Amino acid sequence: MTMPGDPAKNSPAKSPDFHEPKVTARAAKATAGALAVVALAFVLWYAQTAILLTFAGILLAIVLYGASRALAELTGLPRMLMLGVVALAILGGLVLAGWTAGPTLGTQVALLAQSIATGATMLTSQLASFVDRTAFLEKIDLVQVLGNFMSQWGIATGATSVAMSVFGLFSAGLIVLFFGVYLAADPHTYVNLVSRLAPEDKRQTLIDLLHETGDLLRRWLIGQSITMSVTGGFTYLGLLILGVPIAFVLALFAGLACFLPYLGPIIGAIPIILVAGGESFNMALWALGLYCCVQFLESYLLTPLIQARAVSMPPAMVILNQLVFGAVFGLLGLALATPLAAAATVPLRHVFNKGEDGNNDGA
């Protein structure tokens, strides 16, 4: 019989034995989770180029799949046959463009660096006399400033760097091309493989999110392609009328720069103004006015009509995303920053809408 004062009556002495395994298990899980996050961060950092090229291949696959599906519905022929037709048409168009416009484009690209350097030097001296701050502006080497600016974004400035960049661009293009074609040939297989990473009860939700993301990126790419084509075309016509040298490559660069919303027009205007400034200060002003008119057309007519229906993102967030990706991942990250942000809006919207629904249900 146990006495009231007997310590055997109060037997929580062995309770720590029951809690210590739980605490140890939680600590082990937390440590393993932290190590997994660190390892994943290292893998993502060292494989950043491969990840960005994979995403570029996904964008190409979206274009190829959408085009082949539309042609298959229009003609009634198998989609795989239409995919081959689309791929051969794109490849043939590139070969034809390189054969017909290649010599002219190569000559203009070779003259571009020289024209930019000449224009930068002339604009510096003309601005010094125009603003009457000679002592201040003479200390600024605009060519060096531009070189430092381009190198910060991973843009090659020397002849060797240009050659390496061209070789790297060709290799990356082949990787993106083959990855895009294989993914467009059988996208459902890859979607099902990705869905298996989720629990069984969440797989259909993940599949729906992937399809929604693909549709959003397809609409964004179509709208952006129209914007780039119109911007490049109007810029080319305007530069021809003004008599600006190497108008074709300048308009091509301006159209490609429009792939970057908000920052792209600024980047595309720099070589146009510098090349025009190599002719005269007045021509630089006319070129600036022309480009402002084209961008006014793009910003207040094309974008509201086309891109607003595709995806709507706050401008400040888009610019911040471009600056961060450009600083961390270089030119490739800068180019893919906006579609990456657009793709991220789908799961984020799903999560926040689900949270709002949960709050409403609980209210």
- pLDDT beyond 80 at 35: no
Q: How many C-beta neighbours within 10 Å does residue 175 have?
A: 15
Instruction: Indicate the pLDDT class of residue 159, thresholds 50, 70 and 90.
Output: very low
Predicted local confidence at residue 265, as pLDDT: 81
Predicted local confidence at residue 115, as pLDDT: 72
Residue 310 resides in a domain: yes
Residue 320 resides in a domain: yes
For residue 335, the enclosing domain spans: 50-346
Q: How far apart are CA 178 and CA 57, in angstroms?
A: 8
Q: How far apart are CA 224 and CA 261, in angstroms?
A: 9
| Contacts of 50-54 spanning 24+ positions with Cβ under 8 A | 52/329, 52/332, 52/333, 52/336, 53/172, 53/175, 53/176, 53/179, 53/332, 54/179
Residue 188 resides in a domain: yes
Residue 357 resides in a domain: no
Q: How far apart are CA 21 and CA 11, in angstroms?
A: 19
Residue 37 resides in a domain: no
Q: pLDDT: is 163 or 295 the higher one?
A: 295
Predicted local confidence at residue 31, as pLDDT: 77
3-state secondary structure of 259: coil
In this structure, are residues 325 and 339 in contact, taking their beta carbons and an 8 Å threshold? no
Sign of CA dihedral 31, 36, 41, 42: positive
Residue 329 resides in a domain: yes
Predicted local confidence at residue 361, as pLDDT: 44
Which residues, 6 or more positions from 330, have their beta carbon under 8 angstroms from its beta carbon? 153, 154
Residue 70 resides in a domain: yes
Q: How far apart are CA 82 and CA 217, in angstroms?
A: 21
- pLDDT beyond 50 at 161: no
Nearest to 260 by CA among 224, 218, 213: 224
In this structure, are residues 189 and 65 in contact, taking their beta carbons and an 8 Å threshold? no
Q: How far apart are CA 97 and CA 102, in angstroms?
A: 7
Over residues 81-107, mean pLDDT:
76
Nearest to 273 by CA among 255, 261, 298, 290: 290
Mean pLDDT lowest for which of 106-115, 131-140, 276-285?
A: 131-140
Residue 298 resides in a domain: yes
Q: How far apart are CA 51 and CA 232, in angstroms?
A: 29
- What is the rounded average pLDDT for all residues in the chain? 74
Mean pLDDT lowest for which of 25-39, 120-134, 221-235, 335-349?
A: 120-134
- At 260-282, the pLDDT tens digits run 777 778 888 888 888 888 777 88
3-state secondary structure of 118: helix
In this structure, are residues 295 and 263 in contact, taking their beta carbons and an 8 Å threshold? no
Give the per-residue SS3 of 205-223: HHHHHHHHHHHHHHHHHHH
Q: How far apart are CA 356 and CA 343, in angstroms?
A: 21
Predicted local confidence at residue 19, as pLDDT: 55
Element (H, E) at 155: none
What is the tally of structural domains in the chain?
1
Sign of CA dihedral 22, 23, 24, 29: positive
Nearest to 269 by CA among 297, 250, 248, 242: 250
